[in-house]
Amino acid sequence: MTVTLQYIDALEAYLVRSGAALVRTRLPDWIHGRVHADLITVRADLTAEQELLALVHEITHWLAHRQMGLEHCRTVFEYEAEAVEQLVMAHLGLPHPDSAHRLWRAHPTDNLLFASVTRVTSATRRILGALGFDADSEPQTAVDLEAAPREEIVLEYELHGMGNFFGLSQTL
């Protein structure tokens, strides 16, 4: 099972523990997910990476926006959910599909109002907690490995003076 699928399973378990439900069903191509009350719906034909992003996005709406009335600006809610997506994916060390886009920000909460930053921070902490991370811990760093078949890769842990040795053909 890939790490992305493990994250999806962890978020689904979190929703069940929290009294919400997750349904996968057919949705229009331009909609990856939606939330209504305690029901989160994601499009059934998404890749694992797309589903993880959709779950993070919709869980943010569920955590931060379900108690707020319609008088609040939905555009602000979308900015908040997108900021949480960016923060969570960065913490997990996973690429975000918009990272190559010029609007990608190093600090996703830049230009958000204090109330928005508070909601983004709270949702991010709760989602990372559901994934088994301490929100105050250092984000994971993405690592790209390139090697020929049967080439040995050496990962060294400087902090503990240890190393991990494995053959590429056995792990990939």
Taking alpha carbons only, the member of 53, 54, 154, 68 closest to residue 119 is: 68
Same domain (yes/no): 78, 45: yes
What pLDDT, in 10s, does the model give residues 70-89?
666 888 888 889 989 999 99
pLDDT at 150: 63
Residue 169 has pLDDT above 90, yes or no: no
Long-range CB pairs of 127-136 (<8 Å, 24+ gap) are: 127/11, 127/56, 127/59, 127/60, 127/63, 127/84, 127/88, 128/88, 128/91, 130/10, 130/11, 130/13, 130/14, 131/7, 131/10, 131/11, 131/88, 131/92, 132/10, 133/91, 133/92, 135/91
Q: pTM of this prediction?
A: 0.72
SS3 154: strand
Averaged pLDDT for residues 63-70: 80
Residues 75, 28: one domain? Answer: yes
Q: How many whole angstroms separate alpha carbon 96 and alpha carbon 87?
A: 10
Averaged pLDDT for residues 135-139? 61
The residue ranking higher by pLDDT, 8 or 114, is 8
Burial zone of 30 (CB within 10 Å; 0-12 exposed, 13-18 middle, 19+ buried)? exposed
In this structure, the answer to whether residues 94 and 168 fall within a common structural domain is no
For residue 108, tell me if it sits in a domain. Answer: yes
Residues spanned by the domain of 152: 144-172
Compute the distance between CA of residue 57 and CA of residue 82 in angstroms, rounded to an integer. Answer: 7
Q: Does residue 137 sit within a domain?
A: no
What is the domain-level CATH number for residue 27? Answer: 3.30.2010
Total tally of structural domains belonging to the chain = 2
For residue 141, pLDDT beyond 60: no
- Give the pLDDT of residue 75: 82
> Across all residues in the chain, what is the average pLDDT?
79
Share of the chain above pLDDT 70, in %: 66
Q: What is the pLDDT of residues 11-42, one digit of tens each?
A: 999 999 999 999 999 999 999 999 998 999 99
Residue 136 lies in a domain: no
pLDDT level of residue 100 (50, 70, 90 thresholds): very low
Q: Note whether 168 and 149 are within 8 A (CB).
A: yes
Residues 120 and 160 grouped into a single domain: no
